[in-house]
Each structure stands twice: as C-alpha cells, then as structure tokens.
Amino acid sequence: MGTRSILALLALSLLTTGCGIEQSVPSSTSTSAPAGAWFIDVAENAGLDFVHFNGMSGEFYFPEIMSPGAGLLDYDNDGDLDVYLVQGSMLGRGRTLSQALLPSHGPLPPKGRLFRNDLRLQGDGTRMLRFTDVTDQSRIDARGYCIGVVAGDIDNDGWIDLYLTNFGPNQMLRNNGDGTFVDVSKRAGTDDAGWGVSGAFLDYDRDGWLDLYVGNYVHYTTETDISCPGLAPLITANTIAQIDMYARLRCRGISQRPIAAGSIAGSRRQPSRPVASVLARGLLR
C-alpha cells in the first residue's frame, strides 16, 4: 500500500475517533466517493503532505525495500490524535542526495515529520480537519534511516514520548510538555545501533514505569553488501517492477548468525531524569 493511501486511512480514523464526534456529522474535508466506499483519501486536503524517501541510488541496498512506519499520538494533550511519519535517508557511505534516483520531497534534509492535528468543530456541526507540520517547532531532529515509531509516557509526567527504531542508532525523544522534544537516547541507554524494526512500551515488571522492547532485524551493513553478478542479465529494462524483483533476489551480504534479535530495557527511576538500562538481550538461533 502506498504512503498516501496509508495516510488516508490515518486521516479517516482521526475523523471518526479523534474527538469522539459522531460519525454522522459531515466533514468539510470530505471528497466525493463511490457509493458504499468505506475510506476516501483526504490526506492532501488535510495537509498531510509527505512522501517517504528510501535513499536508493542504484545499488539495491536491502533497506530500500522495507516499508516505513507511522505513529498516532496526542503529543500536545488537546484530545485529538497527531501524526508522526518516519523518514529514510541516503544509503551508502559518502553518498549524497544528488545521487538519489528519486529526489526527496519536502524540506531538506529529509527527516521524520510531526504533524499537529488542528481539528476544529464548526458552528454548523461540520468538522474542519487540518494538520500542520510542526517538526521544526518541536525540535525533533530525526535524520537517521528510520523504520518504526513507538509512543508512550516513559516518565509518567502525562506527556507522550517517542522512540524511533532505525537502520542505525535508535532515538528516544522525551516530550517536554511545551510542544518540544529532547533527544535522551544516550542518557537513557536506548541508542542501540543495530537495525531496529519494531518496538513496544510495556510495564513487564509491574513497577509502574514503562519498559521498552525493541525487535531487531538482520545483521547488515551497506559496506558489506555483496551483489550477485549472475543476476545482472535479469535486468532488461529500468522499470520499477524489475528493480524490485532484482532487489529481492540480490545477495545481500547478510550474516548467517541470528536473523532476528531482541533487546529489552527496564525503567530505572532517578531523581532528576528518566533513564533506561539494558536488562537482557536475546538472539533467536
């Protein structure tokens, strides 16, 4: 499913659930749709202007074919759901944006974007759904090759924080409660430099503080990527379908050790700041 289609689903869910407003109330962002349609694309009208950048330069690196994540969270505690969209970056040491096969869309450099939900209920009962890009105001600087996002209140201060899983060091972003975030990854001990793909906040030891589980993918680097010359004849035309097929068949230089890894961090409450320390790390063999 394309990025814009995903955003359409996110935006529509906000229409029906964001503020507990009855579904029968018409929305000012609605567009005509075939009778019986369950979902309609309102992303562009609502201000969700975003295109994922996968950093492809013709080298067919493994992360290029991985789908990105998205997060719904009420970061400003105004009662409606905001949207965080993860972004990729240029792949390959020393490569620049000028070498990308597909140009980056939006502000440069490409990085994760936070969209504030400015939903308004009009006097006539209609809803005005509008998202505003507040990435710069939020001080979120997520320039890594991000795969997933996890939302949760890590320090029980009533404000939702963010954790980003990356192909590279992960990021823990603490919500300051004033519309801004601060990167506490190193202080929290959660800047794992593997290939994080998914994660979850949970209170596994029932001490009242959220712990963190991170699921890691394969052991892979672009520096050790190995192509299979024998597959080159399969590429007869520069089409998206053939590029995708070649990328899937490519030898990727992946370690034959574990194909998945997990790490869990337990919360440790300190007087001045929230921190997390790694309790255990397991490998699936």
Question: pLDDT higher for 250 or 221?
Answer: 221
**pLDDT of amino acid 8:** 46
**pLDDT of amino acid 223:** 87
Query: Residue 149, Cβ neighbours under 10 Å: how many?
Result: 24
Range in 138-142, 191-195, 257-261 the model is least confident about? 257-261
Report the pLDDT averaged over residues 129-133: 96
Question: pLDDT higher for 247 or 230?
Answer: 230
Report the pLDDT averaged over residues 73-96: 94
Q: Choose among 58, 54, 57, 61: nearest CA to 222.
A: 61
Q: How far apart are alpha carbons 184 and 274 in whole angstroms?
A: 9
Q: How far apart are alpha carbons 165 and 215 in whole angstroms?
A: 9
Question: What percent of the chain clears pLDDT 70, i.e. is strictly above it?
Answer: 68
pLDDT(28) > 60: no
pLDDT in tens, 46-57: 999 999 999 998
pLDDT in tens, 97-116: 988 898 888 888 999 999 99
**pLDDT of amino acid 283:** 30
Q: Per DSSP, what are the bridge partners of residue 175? A: 181
Question: pLDDT higher for 15 or 140?
Answer: 140
Question: pLDDT higher for 228 or 102?
Answer: 102
**pLDDT of amino acid 93:** 87
Torsion from C-alpha of 188, 91, 107, 151, nearest 10 degrees: -30
pLDDT(281) > 70: no
**pLDDT of amino acid 119:** 92
Average pLDDT over the chain, rounded to an integer: 77
Question: pLDDT higher for 45 or 250?
Answer: 45
Report the pLDDT averaged over residues 84-106: 90
Where are the extended beta strands (E) located within the chain? 70-73, 82-85, 113-117, 120-121, 127-128, 131-133, 145-152, 161-167, 171-175, 181-183, 196-202, 211-216, 260-269, 274-284
Residue 185, SS3 per DSSP: helix
**pLDDT of amino acid 227:** 73
**pLDDT of amino acid 284:** 29
pLDDT in tens, 172-217: 999 999 999 999 999 999 998 889 999 999 999 999 999 999 999 9
Q: How far apart are alpha carbons 75 and 19 in whole angstroms?
A: 14
pLDDT(167) > 90: yes
